[in-house]
Amino acid sequence: MKPFRLSRRTLLRGAGGILIGLPALEAMLRTSSAQAAGPTAPKRLVFFYTPNGTNAGNSEKLADETAFWPAALGPDFVLGSEVAPLEPLRKHLLIASGINAESCKADIDGHGDLHSIAMAQLLTGVATSVDAATIGLIPGANPTAYGQGISLDQYIAPKIGANTRFPTLEYGVLTTTDYGVLPLSRMIYAGPNRPVPAEQDPAAMFSRMFSDGTSGGQTSVTIAAAQRKSVLDFVMDDFARLQPSLGASDRMKLDAHLTSVRELEARIAKQVTATPVTTASCGTVQPVVDPGDPMAKENFPAIGKLQMDLLVLALKCDLTRIASLQWSWARSNLVHTWAGVTQGHHDMTHVGASDELSKVNAWYASQLAYLGQQLLATPDVDGATLLDNTLVYWCSDVSYAYTHGFDNIRAFFLGSGGGTFKTGQHVDVGGQAHQKLLVTLMNYMGVNENQFGISTYGTGPLSALLA
């Protein structure tokens, strides 16, 4: 299918042959009047997760450390074989050594799978810190707990004052484990024990991003929104009427449901109230048609590419300012055959360094490079590029997979975030808690609070990262 221009009358055929109307898209766009006034671009934050850390480290079982972490600090760092695909983007790259997931260490003894602990704390900064059998959704049900706090993206989304259609968007590539959905699958949290699932199907994500609820484009945006609102009002009233007769925990559960309905209604209202603008800033959109089965392992690279394209589009069209892309799951044993690999990822990490393991890391680095290149190729409203006004944080669960280490966790960044962050640099923060990194990201997005997660591990930002 050839690309098309977005317009009020544009229809496109989504996956499964369903007609998706795009008329409301213009309402989601930034106002053209803002452009005329000499626009400033918004700041964006993207979490880019790939599993199982790395094996570069100083032990005989591990690879030459410089395969992943450059030896030199400052601007003259040399990218090793596992991160070489990022070389074309080196002037946009910030590498931060010396960030430790200290709070994870508190959970090591008897609290279950270490990948899962790291995943639950990565963006929440909250240690589980009690016996796994007594917390979590189901006592004893999982080897470890779900996140015990809200994740940074969800926390700051309502505070950054962005009038975007989605507070955040969660993209996933085969995040369901071979055993089903476990805490290993969940990085984003709306609160303690409230995992936020990522959309794993790019066709569904496309329709979510661009559908406005009109079917076949026959109803106007205003009418469709009014009808949806009236239905949701009725539904919310149903919930409100039911609540008093319920016990405390049932009420909490339905309250979470009701809150999500209310948020959906607010999003619909935005479609109508936002100032209509031209499609100039969103440009042409390539619809997602027949992406293949997102749950089939052989489609992993293709699904991932589509999700990255959609993520870039979401930022470009200002559908959201905060997005995450989760590849696979913590402790994933995916066989990356397309990268010339024959062994399972997690299995390999426990054997030690190997060419195949390096290939997996380099493949993920090349995916990050693709995302970076796409952002770099996209002009932003201020005349700079989307990458210039974005910070992409490449994160993982454990640091050194062989030992399940928590020191020196992965912290590669692309983009300066509108000049907030140093770029073209390798810095060493000298052993600071990852809670401070989360504060840094929060401050960057304009939320000027001094602590996040468990503050005893550290407060304030990592100033070494800042320009």
Partner 1 sequence: MPGPSPIRRLSRIEYNNTVADLLGDSTHPAQAFPDEELALGFTNNANAQTTSSLLIEKYENAAANLATAAVAKPDLLGCDAADAACVKTFITKFGQKAYRRPLASDEVDRLVAFYNTSKTSWDAATAVKLTIQAMLQSPHFLYRVEAGGAGTPGSVARLSSYELATRLSYALWGTMPDATLFAAAEAKELDTNDGVLKQAQRMIADPRAKQSVGTFFEQWLDLAKVANIEKSQQLFPQFTPQIRVLLRKEQDTFLSDVVFGGGNLNTLLLANYSFMNKDLAAYYGVTGPSGDQFEKVTLDSTKRVGVLTAGGFLASSAKVDQTSPVQRGLFVRERFLCTTPPPPPANVNTTPPAPNPDLTTRERFAQHEASPSCSGCHKLMDPIGLGFEQFDATGRWRAMEGTLAIDASGEIVSTLATNGKFNGAVELATKLAGSTDVSACVVKQWFRYAYGRSEANVDSCTLASLGTTFGQGQNSFQTLVVGLTQTDAFLYRTQEGAPK
| Interface positions, 110-129, toward partner 1 (CB under 8 A) | 110, 112-114
Question: Near partner 1 by CB under 8 A, which window of 29-37, 44-52, 221-229, 370-378?
Answer: 221-229
| C-alpha–C-alpha distance, residues 428 and 414, integer Å | 17
Tell me if 140 contacts partner 1 by CB under 8 A.
yes
- Min CB(56)–partner 1 separation in Å: 17
Sign of CA dihedral 366, 371, 376, 378: positive
| C-alpha–C-alpha distance, residues 359 and 55, integer Å | 12
Tell me if 17 contacts partner 1 by CB under 8 A.
no
Site for partner 1 in 282-341 (CB under 8 A): 297, 335
Task: Tell me which of 44, 92, 228, 422 binds partner 1, using CB under 8 A.
Answer: 228
Question: Near partner 1 by CB under 8 A, which window of 29-37, 121-129, 238-246, 415-423?
Answer: 238-246
Tell me if 130 contacts partner 1 by CB under 8 A.
no
Site for partner 1 in 183-202 (CB under 8 A): 185, 190, 193-197, 199-201
Tell me if 145 contacts partner 1 by CB under 8 A.
no
- Min CB(256)–partner 1 separation in Å: 5
Tell me if 218 contacts partner 1 by CB under 8 A.
no
| C-alpha–C-alpha distance, residues 68 and 65, integer Å | 6
- Min CB(263)–partner 1 separation in Å: 6
Tell me if 19 contacts partner 1 by CB under 8 A.
no
The full DSSP string for 229-248 is HHHHHHHHHHHHHHGGGS-H
Tell me if 176 contacts partner 1 by CB under 8 A.
yes
Task: Tell me which of 76, 87, 293, 347 binds partner 1, using CB under 8 A.
Answer: 347
Q: Which is nearer to partner 1, 207 or 390 (CB)?
A: 207
CA angle 330, 333, 339 (to 5 degrees): 110
Tell me if 409 contacts partner 1 by CB under 8 A.
no
Q: Which of 395, 259, 382, 271 is nearest to 326 (CA)?
A: 395
Q: Which of 315, 294, 299, 348 is nearest to 51 (CA)?
A: 348
Tell me if 245 contacts partner 1 by CB under 8 A.
yes
Q: Which of 141, 140, 146, 197 is nearest to 168 (CA)?
A: 197
Other residues' Cβ atoms within 10 Å of the Cβ of residue 279: 18
Contact residues for 376 (Cβ-Cβ < 8 A; gap 6+): 89, 92, 385, 386, 387
Contact indicator for 265, 232 with CB cutoff of 8 Å: yes
Q: Which helix (H) or strand (E) holds 285?
A: strand 284-285
Site for partner 1 in 386-405 (CB under 8 A): 402-404
- Min CB(91)–partner 1 separation in Å: 36
- Min CB(22)–partner 1 separation in Å: 16
Tell me if 55 contacts partner 1 by CB under 8 A.
no
Tell me if 58 contacts partner 1 by CB under 8 A.
no
